[in-house]
Chain A
Amino acid sequence: MKGRHPQNIRRLIGNTSLRMVLILTSLIVVLPILWVIYTSFKTSAEFLNNPWALPSSLNWSNYANAISKANMGDYFMNSIGVTLGSLGLLFVLIVPAAYALSRFKFKFSKGITMLFMAGLFINCNYIVVPIFMILKDMGLLNNLFVLCIVYAATTMPFNIYLLTGFMQGIAKEYEEAAQIDGCGYWGTLFRVIIPMSKPGFVTIGVFAFMSYWNEYILALTVLKPDHYTLPVGLKNLMEVQKFATDWGAMFAGLVIVMMPTMVFYALVQKKLTSGLSLGGLKG
């Protein structure tokens, strides 16, 4: 009990220096983002004179330019459609698959699990060229729904892996109780497993949302301008910018791309935390 006092002091000093480190890190994180946001209100001339100064006035025309000149509005809608569509598909695919793999032992269960595990090493960017060739042969290029399928398919291994982990963590007793109540395979899935995996869904959903929203290599490869998603549209804007040097519109484009994910993240971050704490990541 006597040692208590100096320990508190040490703790106080420790906390203060920790706070300094944290505040410094926060600045490193936040300042660049703030810079993008306020730069999006500057005219090109202002930007070129001093890229770090604050804007003299709120120049909303940058946003008008980004939306009208570069079709960012349409691209925004495309991005929403692709992101939600891919998310929906992903869950339709992985929930039954993870259920079967996590709760049952059958002939090929080990083999199939291994097959999906192997997919953890395959990023869609490694295989974008052959994917493009396949879609070309099937005449399915420039199709947002097909892009959703490809997104869902290529992100499946990681998410099945995560979800299997979550589902394995659910105690057998719940399942048995459901079976006593007369639930069969599907009944157990929808009555017990799905409700109990909700935190896991949140985690998967959030990360999948971010990756679908921000993906651009595949989108660039298979889409044409009438169906571009935002990151590709932004890249397109940068290409135009190279010739027109409209820095203001480009930064407005950057903000249009990053805002939804930031807002979305701000909304779900609490649920995300609880989802992650389930230890679903245990190998």
Chain B
Amino acid sequence: MTNLKKYMPKKQQTRRNIAITVSLLPALALYALFVIYPTFNVFRTSMYQWSGLSKQKTFIGFENFIRLFNDTKFWTALQNTIFLLIFCTAITMILALFFAAALTQSKLKEKNFYRVLFFFPNVLSIVVIGVLFSNIYEPNMGILNSLLRGIGLNHLAQPWLGSGKTVLWAIGVAMIWQAVGYYMVMYMAGMDGISPELYEAADIDGASKFVQFFKITIPMIWGILRVTLVFFITSTLNMSFLFVNVMTDGAPNGSSEVLLTYMYRQAFTNANFGYAMAIAVIIFIVAFALAIISNILTKKNDA
């Protein structure tokens, strides 16, 4: 039977092509309808003035973008978004790598228990986490300020979500609390795949755990690191939206506004759909640019 293949390559080819088409078509069709076409619409609507409720759309070219670049609120939102992207990415990656390496290397009996436990926040709805942290940060009865006052650090107690100086940090911490476990599990999976002999050999050479981490662990999971980094950018953009929405809705005075919340505000509260879609275009550009930058920055070390 097998050698039939050699004699009937043409027929085999057609059958195969039909099968491949059948495999891909439904996915491609829905992808085109619900991802590509809406994306295209984002770009197109960004050129219009449109309230979203009437049928009346006016083509205004790049005027939305010109306004956008003169809009201080937009710049604040962009700055806040980038701050959260960098702050959350850095801290989450460091913590996730630390816990992953510690748990994989230490061979603690309860290793699996922690793996399960630390992942827990990730299964919670952001609505739940948002309400939770709003109560933690509550200025007078909240657990954080109660704790600080309890140990005599009264001067450190803050209206965390009410001050432009602290609100982003506070939201960032909630986002990190939610994300660390997920990335830790990812990295642990990668680290489990590293052959123990590598570490045994390093032990014999007298390399410290610290050195082993940088010389063995990191290079071995570099591929996963790169992927998670790219994934993290889209995810953080999205999460910042949900967290801000539930916790502060941009307060105080736009100090915690991020690009996606600003897009929503313009679309739904301010009935300014064209402008909102111009913001969405910027979101696309930011996401794409950051992904490419992070990819280039991490490339040369990739074995």
Residues of A within 8 A of B (CB): 14-15, 18-19, 21-22, 25-26, 28-30, 32-33, 35-36, 50-52, 92-94, 96-97, 99-101, 104, 106, 112, 115-116, 119-123, 125-127, 129-131, 133-134, 149-150, 152-154, 156-158, 160, 179-180, 182, 184-186, 210, 213-214, 216-217, 230-231, 234-235, 238, 250, 254, 257-258, 261-262, 264-266, 269, 272-273, 276-279, 281-283
A134 to B277, CA, bound (A): 15
Cβ–Cβ contact A121 & B234, under 8 A: yes
Residues A154 and B116 in contact, CB atoms below 8 Å apart: no
B296 / chain A contacts, CB cutoff of 8 Å = none
Proximity string of chain B (18-53) to chain A, C-beta cutoff 8 Å, 1 when within and 0 when not: 011011101110110111111101100100000010
Asked whether any CB of chain A lies closer than 8 Å to the CB of B94, the reply is no
Asked whether any CB of chain A lies closer than 8 Å to the CB of B58, the reply is no
A129 & B125 in contact (Cβ 8 Å cutoff): no
Give the residues in chain B near A92, CB-CB below 8 Å. Answer: 26
Complex Cα distance A129/B46, Å? 12
Complex contact A277–B189 (CB within 8 A)? yes
Q: Which of B59-67, B156-164, B225-233 forms part of the interface with chain A?
A: B225-233
| B30 lies within 8 A of A276 (CB) | no
Q: A277 vs B191: C-alpha distance in the bound complex, in angstroms? A: 8
Beyond A51-B135, A153-B35, A157-B35, is A231–B23 a contact (Cβ under 8 Å)?
no
- Chain A residues with Cβ below 8 Å from B138 are 51
In the complex the two chains form, what is the Cα distance from A180 to B5 in whole Å?
10
Point out the residue from A30, A97, A121 that lies within 8 Å of B288, measured CB to CB: A121
List residues of chain B with CB within 8 A of the CB of A180: 1-2
Central interface residue in B35, B102, B242, B283, by most chain A CB within 10 Å: B35
Majority SS at the chain A contact face: helix
Say yes or no: A281 contacts B227, CB within 8 Å. yes
Min CB distance B50 to A, Å, is 10
Chain A residues whose CB sits within 8 angstroms of the CB of B212 once the complex forms: none
Interface pair A93/B186, CB less than 8 Å apart:
no
A235 to B249, CA, bound (A): 14
Q: Given A32-B132, A100-B23, A273-B185, are A156 and B117 also a contact pair (CB < 8 Å)?
A: no
Q: Do A18 and B115 have beta carbons less than 8 Å apart?
A: no
In the complex, which residues of chain B have a beta carbon less than 8 angstroms from the beta carbon of A115?
28, 31, 36
Contacts of B154 in A (CB 8 A): none
B residues with a Cβ closer than 8 A to A are 1-2, 5, 15-17, 19-20, 22-24, 26-28, 30-31, 33-39, 41-42, 45, 52, 99, 102-103, 106, 108, 112, 114-128, 131-133, 135-136, 138, 141, 143, 146, 177, 181, 185-186, 188-190, 192-193, 209, 223-224, 226-228, 230-231, 234-235, 237-238, 241-242, 260, 267, 273, 276-277, 280, 283-284, 287-288, 291
Is A26's CB under 8 angstroms from B24's CB? no
| 13 A-B pairs with C-beta separation under 8 A | A51-B138, A126-B237, A126-B260, A130-B37, A133-B41, A134-B34, A149-B30, A156-B27, A156-B35, A235-B127, A265-B123, A269-B116, A283-B223
> What residue of chain A has the Cβ atom nearest to residue B102's Cβ?
A18
Contact B273 A129 (CB under 8 A): yes
Q: How far is the CA of A251 from the CA of B178 in the complex (A)?
A: 19
- Cβ of B280: which chain A residues have Cβ within 8 Å of it? 126-127, 129
Closest A-B pairs by Cβ, 7 of them: A96-B23, A276-B189, A130-B38, A130-B41, A153-B34, A127-B38, A185-B19
User: A281–B190 contact, CB under 8 A?
Assistant: yes
Whether the Cβ atoms of B125 and A234 lie closer than 8 Å is yes
Most buried by B among A30, A51, A180, A250: A51
A179 CA / B287 CA spacing, docked (Å):
43
Q: How far is the CB of B166 from chain A (nearest CB, A)?
A: 19
CA distance A210 to B143 in the complex (A): 28
- Of chain B, the residue at the smallest CB distance from A150 is B34
A209 to B96, CA, bound (A): 23
Q: Is the CB of B223 within 8 A of A97?
A: no
The answer for the CA separation of A150 and B31 in the assembled complex, in Å, is 9
Complex partner residue of B123 from A112, A125, A210, CB under 8 angstroms = A210
**Contact A127/B291 with A186-B19, A282-B223 known, Cβ cut-off 8 Å:** no
Which B residues are CB-close (under 8 A) to A216? Answer: 125-127, 242
Q: Is the CB of B224 within 8 A of A281?
A: yes
A121 lies within 8 A of B287 (CB):
yes
Q: How far is the CA of A279 from the CA of B241 in the complex (A)?
A: 31
Q: Which of B16, B128, B291 contacts A36 (CB 8 A)?
A: B128
Bound state CA distance, A257 and B131, in angstroms?
13
Across-interface contacts of A231 in B (CB, < 8 A): 125, 127
Tell whether, in the assembled complex, residue A28 and residue B177 are in contact, meaning their CB atoms are under 8 Å apart.
yes
A97 touches B131 (CB 8 A): no
Instruction: Please give the distance in Å from A11's CB to the nearest CB on chain B.
Output: 8
Instruction: Using known A-B contacts A32-B132, A130-B41, A130-B45, determine if residue A123 contacts B127 with beta carbons closer than 8 Å.
Output: no
Minimum CB–CB distance for B242 against chain A, Å: 7
Would you call A257 and B30 a contact (CB within 8 A)?
A: no
Chain A residues with Cβ below 8 Å from B112 are: 273
Contact B27–A160 (Cβ < 8 Å): yes
Contact B288 A125 (CB under 8 A): no
Give 9 A-B pairs besides A29-B181, A52-B143 with Cβ atoms closer than 8 angstroms. A25-B99, A32-B133, A96-B23, A123-B235, A126-B237, A129-B42, A130-B277, A184-B15, A277-B189
Contact with A126, one of B116, B226, B283 (Cβ below 8 angstroms): B283
